[in-house]
């Protein structure tokens, strides 16, 4: 029987990789999730804890996929703590994906926002000129640098920036984006990370007529466009996105400024 993507499938965690003291990658085998498109997400059920929208991480092993999670609140900590042999439920994939352009590409990721960027790297062509920017607060929080290098053939540019300058270039990754887009023409810029980082990146690129796309994160309940929790202005992140063009985002009043809390009340970033 064909799998109903809305129905949770139970998978078992086979491997846990510590990326940083607060970030882990949980690897599992599945028929569907290894082949999703960059930007697509799954709703991940941690039995007894909660259910979270998670971008689907790649695995180097065939037939496997992963989730990379930073422990933050009770739900993400619940996922972070799932041990090898632990069971989680997954449904999806949901959402659209990044439009794949060719040529000179800039991929910008902050924190677990790097997850869709890693999958995007598996889709780029060897003829593309790819630069990956990894933004982190400090050295301890840098991850996926080696992975990004290993996915690029030949290894192109992977640039790390830390806010405190403890590793790589010093400063906000958005300042680096501004510097790069002012000096080079890119055929596309892709970004995923904290909303302010995406907002500034979209501004830098869109103001120079560079094609840019961002993958938005919002509180989600259903994942299928029914509950309305993830609305951003007139858009539903789960159903219309999570990937939006800079052109569209520049007309959205809430992007970069406002999000809704669990009761649906707008709050400032």
Measured CA to CA, the distance from residue 72 to residue 70 in angstroms comes to 6
In the list 91, 119, 200, 218, the residue contacting other proteins (rule: CB under 8 A) is 91
Nearer to other proteins, 63 or 228 (CB): 228
Instruction: Please tell me whether residue 45 binds other proteins under the rule CB under 8 A.
Output: yes
Cα 7-194-45 angle, rounded to 5 deg: 20
Q: Euclidean distance between the first and final Cα of the chain, in Å?
A: 45
Q: Which residues 166-205 are close enough to bind other proteins by CB under 8 A?
A: none
Measured CA to CA, the distance from residue 183 to residue 29 in angstroms comes to 43
Instruction: Please tell me whether residue 84 binds other proteins under the rule CB under 8 A.
Output: no
Q: Going by C-beta distance under 8 Å and a sequence separation of 6 or more, which residues neighbour residue 107?
A: 117, 120, 121, 130, 131, 132, 133, 189, 190, 191
- Which residue reads 């933004």 in tokens? 135
Using DSSP, state whether 252 is helix, strand or coil: coil
Instruction: Please tell me whether residue 236 binds other proteins under the rule CB under 8 A.
Output: yes
Nearer to other proteins, 4 or 127 (CB): 4
Q: Which residues 5-34 are close enough to bind other proteins by CB under 8 A?
A: 6-8, 10
Q: Which helix (H) or strand (E) is 240 found in, with range?
A: helix 237-240
Measured CA to CA, the distance from residue 12 to residue 27 in angstroms comes to 9
Nearer to other proteins, 165 or 233 (CB): 233
Q: Which residues 106-165 are close enough to bind other proteins by CB under 8 A?
A: none
Using DSSP, state whether 51 is helix, strand or coil: strand
Q: How far is the CB of 171 from other proteins (least distance, A)?
A: 35
In the list 19, 51, 128, 217, the residue contacting other proteins (rule: CB under 8 A) is 51
Phi, psi of 100 (to 5 degrees): -85, 115
In the list 225, 248, 250, 257, the residue contacting other proteins (rule: CB under 8 A) is 225
Q: Which of these segments, 31-39, 41-49, 175-183, 186-194, binds other proteins (CB under 8 A)?
A: 41-49
Q: How far is the CB of 5 from other proteins (least distance, A)?
A: 9
Joined tokens for residue 146: 């080696």
In the list 22, 29, 50, 166, the residue contacting other proteins (rule: CB under 8 A) is 50
Measured CA to CA, the distance from residue 211 to residue 105 in angstroms comes to 10
Q: Which of these segments, 166-174, 181-189, 205-213, 216-224, binds other proteins (CB under 8 A)?
A: 216-224
Using DSSP, state whether 5 is helix, strand or coil: coil
Q: How far is the CB of 186 from other proteins (least distance, A)?
A: 31
Binding site for other proteins (CB under 8 A): 4, 6-8, 10, 43, 45, 47-48, 50-52, 75, 87, 89, 91, 221-229, 231, 233-234, 236, 239, 260-265
């Amino acid at each position: 029987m064909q799998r109903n993507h809305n129905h949770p499938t139970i998978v078992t965690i086979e491997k846990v990789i510590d990326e940083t003291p607060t970030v882990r990658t949980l690897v599992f085998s599945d028929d569907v999730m290894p082949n999703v498109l960059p930007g697509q997400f799954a709703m991940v059920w941690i039995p007894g804890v909660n259910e979270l929208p998670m971008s689907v991480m790649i695995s180097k092993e065939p037939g496997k996929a992963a989730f990379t999670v930073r422990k933050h609140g009770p739900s993400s900590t619940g996922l972070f703590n799932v041990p090898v042999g632990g069971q989680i439920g997954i449904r999806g994939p949901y959402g659209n994906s990044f439009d794949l352009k060719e040529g000179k590409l800039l991929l910008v990721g902050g924190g677990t926002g790097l997850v869709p960027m890693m999958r995007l790297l598996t889709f780029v062509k060897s003829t593309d000129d790819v630069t990956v920017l990894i933004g982190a607060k400090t050295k301890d929080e840098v991850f996926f640098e080696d992975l990004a290098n290993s996915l690029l053939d030949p290894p192109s540019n992977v640039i790390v920036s830390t806010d405190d300058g403890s590793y790589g270039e010093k400063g906000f990754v958005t300042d680096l984006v501004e510097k790069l887009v002012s000096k080079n023409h890119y055929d596309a810029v892709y970004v995923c990370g904290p909303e302010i980082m995406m907002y500034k990146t979209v501004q830098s690129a869109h103001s120079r007529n560079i094609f840019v796309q961002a993958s938005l994160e919002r509180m989600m309940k259903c994942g299928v466009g029914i509950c309305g929790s993830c609305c951003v202005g007139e858009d539903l992140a789960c159903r219309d996105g999570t990937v939006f063009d800079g052109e569209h985002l520049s007309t959205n009043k809430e992007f970069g400024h406002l999000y809704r809390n669990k009761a649906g009340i707008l709050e400032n970033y």
